[in-house]
Amino acid sequence: MTDTTVTKVSSAYSPTGDQGEVYLASGKRVSMRLWRDEEPTQDKPSHKHEYEVVGYVISGRAELEIAGQTVRLEPGDSWVVPAGSEHTYRILETFTAVEATAPPAQVHGREQS
């Protein structure tokens, strides 16, 4: 049987979340989203979510605070936020990154932050 779940998603037509994230391809077990040209910020409110996040910095700089640590993120760096982990971040320099979430963080039916 052939897998019929293969899809292509153009970011130009992808839905955008309420925090500016662009929702990219989403499968049954993982999804991707893009944070594009996010402007510098102070700390975002500390939060946690039920899905795991892995990310990769394309450009810019940010700091992720998690488990009592501050992790500086720069182009070429990747990170992990385990499911259920309290965390916050601040953008230091206009920031573009791609994230994958498992299970999928979706536009409908799930807290998206």
Q: What pTM value is reported for the model?
A: 0.84
Neighbouring-strand partners of residue 88: 65
Show the domain range for 83: 22-102
Asked if the structure places residue 3 within a domain, the reply is no
Number of domains making up the chain: 1
Residue 85's Cβ-count burial label (10 Å; 0-12, 13-18, 19+) is middle
Q: Is residue 86 part of a domain?
A: yes
Would residue 12 count as lying in a domain?
no
Per-residue pLDDT of the chain (113 residues; tens, 9 = 90+): 566 666 778 888 888 888 889 999 888 899 999 999 999 988 788 999 899 999 999 999 999 999 899 999 999 999 999 999 999 999 999 999 999 999 998 754 444 44
> Is residue 49 in some structural domain?
yes
Does 2 map to a domain?
no
**Residue 10 within a domain:** no
Nearest Cα to Cα of residue 56 among 90, 32, 39: 32
User: Quick one: how many helices (H) and strands (E) in the chain?
Assistant: 0, 6
User: What CATH number does the domain containing 68 carry?
Assistant: 2.60.120.10
Residue at 91 is within a domain = yes
pLDDT score at 46: 92
pLDDT for 20? 87
pLDDT attached to residue 93: 97
What is the rounded distance in angstroms from the CA atom of residue 107 to the CA atom of residue 92? 27
Would you say residue 59 lies in a domain?
A: yes
Q: What is the pLDDT of residue 48?
A: 92
